[in-house]
Structure 1
Amino acid sequence: MNLTGKQRRYLRSIAHNLKPVFQIGKDGVNDNLISQIDDYLEIHEILKVSILQNSPEDKNDVAEKLALGTHAHVAQIIGKTIVLYRESKENKEIKLP
C-alpha cells in the first residue's frame, strides 16, 4: 500500500510539531537502530528522524533503509529530517483520510 498525496499531507501536518526522536550519526543505519525505531513506531505510529552532519549516508538512502527495515512509509523528507509512518497493530490512533 502506498500513501496518497492527501494522506502524506495529513501525516506531515501531524508531524509538524514533533521533535526528532532518533538521530543518524557517523555509524549510519544499523540493525539496533532499526529495531528501536520499529518498537517506537508500534507505539506512536509516526516519528521524525534527523540525520546529523557527520553521517556518511545520503538522506534518501537512509529513508529507504529505515522504511524497508521497519515496513514503514516515508511521509516526508525535508532537509535532513525524515518523517516515517506505520500503522500500529495494537495502538492504532491515526486515522488516514
Structure 2
Amino acid sequence: MERCSVEVSTRGYWQSHQCARKAVLTIEGKGYCKQHSPDRRAEECKRQQLDYAQERHFSDLKWQGEKFFEALLKISRGHNDPRQLALDALRNITGDKG
C-alpha cells in the first residue's frame, strides 16, 4: 500500500511534507496511517474538547470559590444581611436575574 496522504508540519507553519507512515486504510481514494485516520483524528478532537471543558470547569470553580470566600468574609465581619449577600453571590455565579 502507499504512504499516508496527509501533509504534516516540520518546522514552523510554512514547511510541511507528506507523512512517511504506511497507509493502512483508504477512504475516498486517499490513504491514511493509523495516526492520521479521520476516525482517530475525530476521537482526538473530541478528547481535547472534553479536556478543555473540564479544565474550564475547574477554572470557573476556582474563580467562583473566590467570590464565595469574599461573601463569607463579609458575613464573618458582621454584614447586616448575610442571607442576601449569599443570594447575590449565587446570582453572580449562575447568572440568575431573579
When normalised by structure 2's length, the TM-score is: 0.24
More strand as a share of residues: 1
Say which structure, 1 or 2, has more relative contact order (CA 8 Å, 6+ apart).
1
Q: Report the structure number with the largest CA radius of gyration.
A: 2
